[in-house]
Amino acid sequence: MGEPRCIHKVQDGIHELIFTEVSRNAVDEFMNHFDGILRQAAPDDTVRVIGNNGDNSPQPMGYALARSRAILNAYRERPAIRLALMNNGRFANMMDSLFRTLLRRRDRIRFFKLTEREKLLEWLRRDD
């Protein structure tokens, strides 16, 4: 088996999914990890996830949205999601608008630049 295209780390209840390349296969690995996180959490929990795209170009957006929609729609009852996406700042506004269409009212999503990790962790740990 080749090198992972998306690495899953967990620390202090925060899941970090780190892309190692830009591809549909990387999106598939990310979504498989994300689905596993949702499956293991209780419906009244809040899952806290960092999606770290590093300094890569954006992942295939249409494909990522379709996969996200399929996973999120598969759960009648699921935990709240607090998702912090890290990237180099390119296309953040466009991605933010697209991903918000998938989320429920109690979910939160926010984009952070790679240099804002402490700010990201502070936001991710909040319960608002």
- pLDDT band of residue 49 (cuts 50, 70, 90) is very high
Q: Is 1.10.3470 the CATH classification of the domain at 6-125? A: no
pLDDT of 86 reads 87
Q: Is the pLDDT of residue 8 over 70?
A: yes
The per-residue pLDDT for range 57-99, each reduced to its tens digit, is 788 888 998 999 999 889 889 999 999 988 876 555 555 556 6
Count of beta carbons in the 10 Å neighbourhood of residue 82:
22
Alpha-carbon gap, residue 93 to 58, rounded angstroms: 12
Q: Which residues is 50 bridged to in the sheet? A: 16, 84
Choose among 75, 6, 85, 90: nearest CA to 42: 75
The pTM (predicted TM-score) of the whole model is 0.88
**What are the domain boundaries of the chain?**
6-125
pLDDT of 51 reads 93
CA 11 to chain centre: 15
